[in-house]
Amino acid sequence: MRNLFMKVTYDGTNYDGFQTQPGGNTVQDMLERAITHLTGEVVKIIASGRTDAGVHAYGQPFNFETTSLIPLERWCLALNARLPEDIVVTEAHEVPLTFHSRRGAKRKTYRYTINGNRFPDPFQRRYQFHHPVALDVKAMEQGLKPLIGTYDFTSFASRKSTKASHVRTIYEAHMEIDRSMCRPDSTDQGVIHTYITGSGFLQHMVRIIMGTLIQVGEGKRRPEQIADILAACDRAAAGPTAVAKGLALWNVSYEDAGN
């Protein structure tokens, strides 16, 4: 028996999230079908975590056990030939049988993308939240800071969360502005990417953080209020859940893998 560890990039627009659901239209279902088609084995893959409907991933790790003897270097091309074009496997490694993509995950980075330019970008329309009204990005950056550390993130978790503990650690968070698509002589703000790295995230956590920070950017809340919202441990204290399409699982790193 081999334990194979892979990374998959997907455009989540057309799927009901990562994790298997009865309808079968999930990224996990597509991956498992492709593996079965290739190997003849029925497999259950383990991912680093789920992503919601419409959320994307640049590097979602997963692993599964197989008796297949297909050489490592063949797996990506063989699976991609059996996957729809919005799901692409980009890495395949053999790992110890004890390796578990979810339990082994040490740091996860999500990226949330806001198009702050006056007009939507038709080429990026599925991957950006368009917010043409000027945002105070400095205030948003200030609002990110109180979230760095180990806290109970109940205020920033879906009320449907069933986790026993809402304590999580955010290691790092920052914003980057890409002005390459701004029209000259315009009031375009650029494309605003927010990167948040943590030990793990509660359901909707990044999207609720972003929905709240957008209110800060709009001047509806002050950045100093973020600490109070966190302390309240009450979902009602935070802002709305930002739309799914702006969110992407950017990277997951493992103690040993170092990536």
Q: Cβ closer to a copy of itself: 170 or 252? A: 252
Residues 30-69 that bind a copy of itself (CB under 8 A): 56
Instruction: Tell whether residue 127 is a contact of a copy of itself (CB under 8 A).
Output: yes
Copy the structure tokens of residue 60. Answer: 């979602």
Q: If DSSP codes are grouped into helix, strand and coil, which group holds residue 139?
A: helix
Q: Looking at 21, 33, 68, 86, which residue binds a copy of itself (CB under 8 A)?
A: 86
Is 259 one of the binding residues for a copy of itself (CB under 8 A)?
Answer: yes
Angle (CA) 73 37 245, round 5°: 80
Binds a copy of itself by CB under 8 A, chosen from 94, 119, 159, 187 = 119
User: What distance in Å separates the CA atoms of residue 247 and residue 111, rounded to the nearest whole number?
Assistant: 6
Could you tell me the smallest distance in angstroms from the CB atom of residue 136 to a copy of itself? 23
Could you tell me which residues come within 8 angstroms of residue 4 by beta carbon, excluding any fewer than 6 positions away? Answer: 63, 64, 65, 66, 72, 75, 92, 93, 94, 95
Alpha helices in the chain (DSSP H): 27-39, 72-80, 137-144, 205-217, 225-232
Is residue 9 involved in binding a copy of itself (CB under 8 A)? yes
Q: How far is the CB of 118 from a copy of itself (least distance, A)?
A: 8
Query: Judged by CB under 8 A, does residue 179 bind a copy of itself?
Result: no
- 10 is an annotated ligand-binding site residue: no
Q: How far is the CB of 190 from a copy of itself (least distance, A)?
A: 15
Q: Phi and psi of 35, rounded to 5°?
A: -65, -45
At a CB cut-off of 8 Å and minimum separation 6, what does 228 contact? Answer: 237
What does the radius of gyration of the chain's CA atoms come to, in whole angstroms?
A: 19
Q: Please work out the total of residues on this chain that contact a copy of itself, with binding judged by CB under 8 A.
A: 24
DSSP 58: E
Among the options 52, 121, 188, 234, which is catalytic? 52
Question: Least distance in Å: CB of 94 to a copy of itself?
Answer: 17
Residue 165, C-beta contacts closer than 8 angstroms, at least 6 positions apart: 152
Q: x/- site string to a copy of itself, residues 206 to 245, per CB under 8 A?
A: ----------------------------------------
User: Which of 23, 42, 85, 160 is close enough to bind a copy of itself by CB under 8 A?
Assistant: 85
| Member of 90, 177, 219, 228 binding a copy of itself (CB under 8 A) | 90
- CA angle, corner 175, sides to 172 and 179, nearest 5? 155
Is-catalytic flag, 228?
no
**Exposure b/e, 92-126, CB count within 10 A at least 16 = b:** beebeeebebeebbebbbbbbbbbbbeeeeeeeee
Nearest residue (CB) to a copy of itself, 40 versus 122:
122
Annotated binding site for substrate: 110
Kindly list the catalytic residues.
52
Residues that bind a copy of itself (CB under 8 A): 9-11, 56, 76, 80, 85-91, 118-123, 125, 127, 183-184, 259
